[in-house]
């Protein structure tokens, strides 16, 4: 099944909860064998281009236009298509080329563009899923404090009409909590609650450095994006004066909320009483964040407003660290409120008293019961979103779309077929085939950095089926095992448990010619159960998390013996692609 998602942000860099959730949804769909494309209309940079993303950036002039008219780059994002019509046609052409079976709209802001696309291209039959992270009508009124009463009322009405129209038009709605589900039940549509989750934390990065920096301090950790409720909660629960903390007690803040805190007049006026006990460390990578979860004594969740659920609550729970939170921070996670070391208070005085108590307390282990540990494991994205794929299949079936490509059994080469052509791809020729989820290219073979990594393999044989042989290595800890799975949109081709004594392996399987997707390429997903950080006999440590290394790919055409059609043209095409890449590499070397 081919799925296109829409949002007002990219997923090349995962900096806030919306990006993290959308990326996890993409991975959940790919695990089900779906082919996924993403459309983003955004204000971010265009670095790290992704082959599976159709990206439209709101340039500085467009952003200035929105700012001058007190418009927002999310709520009012579709105005870009009126000012830059070419952007709409770019998306339209790419979507028609991909030919989706289902559209997933993450948040409602791009619904006017999607509605126009469905109408203009005779695709009204396509089912649309509204992926809701909040009840936006309830949230919008709190987001922009500088709006006057009339402006606020108009914007709330605009958002209400948009969200209501999408909810009525959608084939189904996916929300994050039971309370949000209760709101959307009024539209009488199929609803799935897919809560926010957490990824397995990577190995800590820079642990020795940061442990040394804060060796004489007791730390509390607050992680938040540049989402206004994060700022509101911090100011409400901690006030504008942290003098009640001892000199060796600090609050460390990570994420986009740091910029909001720096710009807050109340905090700037009390600079001398705030910032000696408050460290704003901005964005940290996943390894850096894992380090601060490890060295902090308590995790803070001072959320007092906003809709949906707080993704940081899941991360805090999974860390098994003591937590001080408001009841609002646990919306959607109410079943965890009675767990060990979870402290809930909505009173600022009591909240601060709990903070002081935890910072001065001795470190103690958690007295987890077995059912509580199992419940924490259910927070992993793979479990939180496990129902998304089957639910989408059922939804599309109910929508009556009879052209969806359902997964088929693995393609088997019949006895009357014979391999007549082959192409070996290794070294620098592998580079153009690496999609998402790979470390920096290495000529001797590139390692995956995500549980699911994507290869895009041009089919040099046109629409004919081909046999694919992969020469690869799986990262395995000594005495342990790892599981390798390889699949396409139509079938799971390989699932194999590998041990340390057979980490190098060669696997072969056949792929139907109809599996080719955008650009006549087959999208191949390589999944490893574990990512590991290798250690060498010399004592050196590779700081990267590694899964599987692709060393060589061999492609062989499979034709019926009675076929007489020449494949010269197909091979001329692939040879031209390879030749252009080699010539480009040669020029780079000469210039160097």
555 contacts 425 by C-beta, under 8 angstroms: yes
- In 10 A of CB 221, how many CB atoms? 24
DSSP per-residue string spanning 62-83? HHHHHHHTT--TTTTGGGHHHH
pLDDT score at 406: 39
Q: Is 534 helix (H, G, I), strand (E, B) or coil?
A: coil
Selected residue with higher pLDDT from 487 and 70:
487
User: What b/e sequence results for 69-99 when a residue is b if at least 16 CB atoms lie within 10 Å of its CB, and e otherwise?
Assistant: eeebbbbbbbbbbeebeebbeebbeebeebe
Question: Which token pair is 128?
Answer: 């649309």
355 burial type by CB count under 10 A (0-12 exposed, 13-18 middle, 19+ buried): buried
pLDDT score at 517: 59
Q: Is the pLDDT of residue 2 over 70?
A: yes
Mean pLDDT for 255-273 is 83
Mean pLDDT for 234-261 is 90
- In angstroms, the CA 20 to CA 196 distance is 9
pLDDT score at 485: 92
Nearest to 456 by CA among 94, 54, 50, 56: 50
130 contacts 108 by C-beta, under 8 angstroms: yes
pLDDT score at 527: 92
Cβ contacts of residue 573 below 8 Å, gap of 6+? 460
Selected residue with higher pLDDT from 206 and 142:
206
Question: Which token pair is 288?
Answer: 């850096």
pLDDT score at 511: 84
Q: Is 26 helix (H, G, I), strand (E, B) or coil?
A: helix
Q: Is the pLDDT of residue 269 over 90?
A: no
Question: Which token pair is 473?
Answer: 């290595």
Cβ contacts of residue 504 below 8 Å, gap of 6+? 472, 473
Mean pLDDT for 204-220 is 92
- Residue-wise pLDDT tens digits, 114-164: 999 999 888 888 999 999 998 888 877 666 666 777 877 888 888 999 999
Question: Which token pair is 188?
Answer: 């009488």
pLDDT score at 367: 66
57, 61, 64, 66 alpha-carbon torsion, rounded to 10°: -60
The confidence band for 401, taking pLDDT boundaries of 50, 70 and 90, is: very low
> From start to end of 318-451, where are the E strands?
323-325, 342-344, 417-426, 446-447
227 burial type by CB count under 10 A (0-12 exposed, 13-18 middle, 19+ buried): buried
- Residue-wise pLDDT tens digits, 333-343: 998 998 888 99
Nearest to 558 by CA among 526, 511, 523: 511
Is pTM beyond 0.85? Reply is no
- In angstroms, the CA 301 to CA 326 distance is 7
Q: Is the pLDDT of residue 389 over 60?
A: yes
Question: Which token pair is 268?
Answer: 């700037």
Q: State the Rg of the chain over Cα.
A: 26
- β-strand partners of 484: 496, 528
pLDDT score at 377: 85
Query: Picking from 206-215, 378-387, 511-520, which range would have the lowest pLDDT averaged per residue?
Result: 511-520
Most confident of 145-154, 358-367, 550-559, 567-576: 550-559
4, 9, 14, 19 alpha-carbon torsion, rounded to 10°: -60
Q: What angle do CA 215, 217, 218 make, to 5 degrees?
A: 120
- Residue-wise pLDDT tens digits, 68-121: 787 888 888 888 888 888 888 889 988 988 889 999 999 999 999 999 999 988
Nearest to 488 by CA among 531, 458, 439, 454: 454
- What phi and psi, each to the nearest 5 degrees, are found at residue 309? -125, 160
Q: Is 525 helix (H, G, I), strand (E, B) or coil?
A: strand
Mean pLDDT for 509-514 is 78
The confidence band for 578, taking pLDDT boundaries of 50, 70 and 90, is: very low
């Amino acid at each position: 099944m081919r799925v296109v998602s829409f949002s007002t942000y990219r997923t090349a860099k995962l900096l806030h909860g919306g990006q993290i959730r959308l990326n996890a949804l993409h991975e959940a769909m790919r695990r089900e064998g779906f082919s996924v494309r993403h459309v983003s209309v955004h204000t971010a940079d265009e670095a790290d281009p992704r082959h599976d993303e159709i990206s439209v950036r709101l340039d500085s002039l467009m952003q200035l236009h929105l700012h001058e008219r007190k418009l927002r780059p999310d709520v009012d994002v579709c105005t870009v298509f009126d000012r830059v019509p070419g952007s709409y046609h770019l998306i339209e052409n790419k979507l028609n080329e991909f030919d989706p079976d289902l559209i997933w709209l993450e948040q409602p802001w791009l619904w006017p563009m999607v509605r126009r696309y469905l109408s203009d291209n005779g695709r009204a039959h396509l089912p649309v899923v509204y992926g809701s992270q909040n009840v936006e009508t309830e949230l919008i009124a709190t987001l922009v404090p500088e709006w006057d009463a009339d402006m606020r009322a108009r914007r709330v009405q605009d958002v209400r009409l948009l969200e209501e129209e999408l909810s009525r038009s959608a084939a189904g709605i996916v929300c994050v909590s039971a309370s949000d589900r209760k709101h959307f039940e009024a539209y009488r549509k199929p609803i799935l609650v897919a809560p926010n989750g957490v990824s397995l934390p990577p190995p800590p990065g820079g642990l020795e450095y940061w442990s040394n920096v804060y060796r004489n301090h007791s730390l509390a950790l607050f992680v938040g994006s540049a989402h206004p409720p994060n700022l509101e909660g911090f100011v409400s629960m901690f006030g504008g004066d942290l003098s009640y903390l001892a000199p060796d007690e600090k609050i460390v803040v990570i994420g986009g909320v740091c910029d909001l805190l720096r710009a807050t007049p109340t905090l700037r006026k009390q600079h001398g009483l705030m910032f000696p006990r408050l460290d704003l460390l901005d964005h940290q990578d996943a390894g850096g964040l894992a380090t601060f979860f490890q060295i902090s004594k308590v995790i803070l969740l001072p959320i007092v407003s906003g809709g949906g659920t707080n993704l940081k609550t899941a991360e805090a729970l999974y860390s098994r660290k003591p937590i001080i939170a408001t009841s609002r921070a646990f919306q959607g996670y109410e079943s965890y409120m009675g767990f060990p070391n979870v402290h809930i208070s909505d009173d600022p005085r009591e909240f601060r008293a709990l903070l002081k108590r935890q910072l001065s307390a001795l470190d103690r282990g958690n007295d987890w019961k077995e059912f509580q540990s199992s419940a924490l494991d259910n927070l992993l994205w793979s479990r939180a979103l496990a129902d998304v794929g089957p639910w989408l299949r059922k939804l599309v079936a109910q929508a009556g779309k009879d052209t969806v490509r359902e997964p088929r059994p693995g393609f088997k080469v019949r006895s009357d077929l014979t391999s007549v052509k082959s192409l070996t791809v290794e070294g620098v020729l592998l580079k153009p085939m690496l999609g998402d989820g790979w470390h920096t290219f290495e000529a001797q073979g590139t390692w995956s950095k995500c549980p699911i990594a994507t290869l895009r393999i041009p089919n040099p044989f046109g629409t004919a089926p081909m046999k694919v042989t992969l020469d690869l290595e799986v990262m395995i800890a000594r005495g342990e095992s790892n599981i390798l799975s390889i699949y396409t949109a139509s079938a799971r081709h390989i699932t194999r448990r590998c041990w340390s004594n057979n980490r190098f392996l060669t696997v072969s399987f056949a792929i139907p010619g109809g599996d080719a997707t955008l650009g006549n390429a087959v999208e191949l997903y390589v999944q490893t159960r574990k990512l590991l950080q290798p250690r060498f006999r010399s004592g050196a440590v590779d700081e990267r998390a590694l899964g599987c290394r692709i060393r060589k790919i061999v492609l062989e055409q499979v034709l019926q013996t009675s076929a007489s059609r020449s494949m010269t043209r197909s091979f001329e095409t692939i040879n031209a692609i390879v030749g252009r890449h080699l010539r480009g590499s040669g020029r780079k070397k000469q210039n160097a």
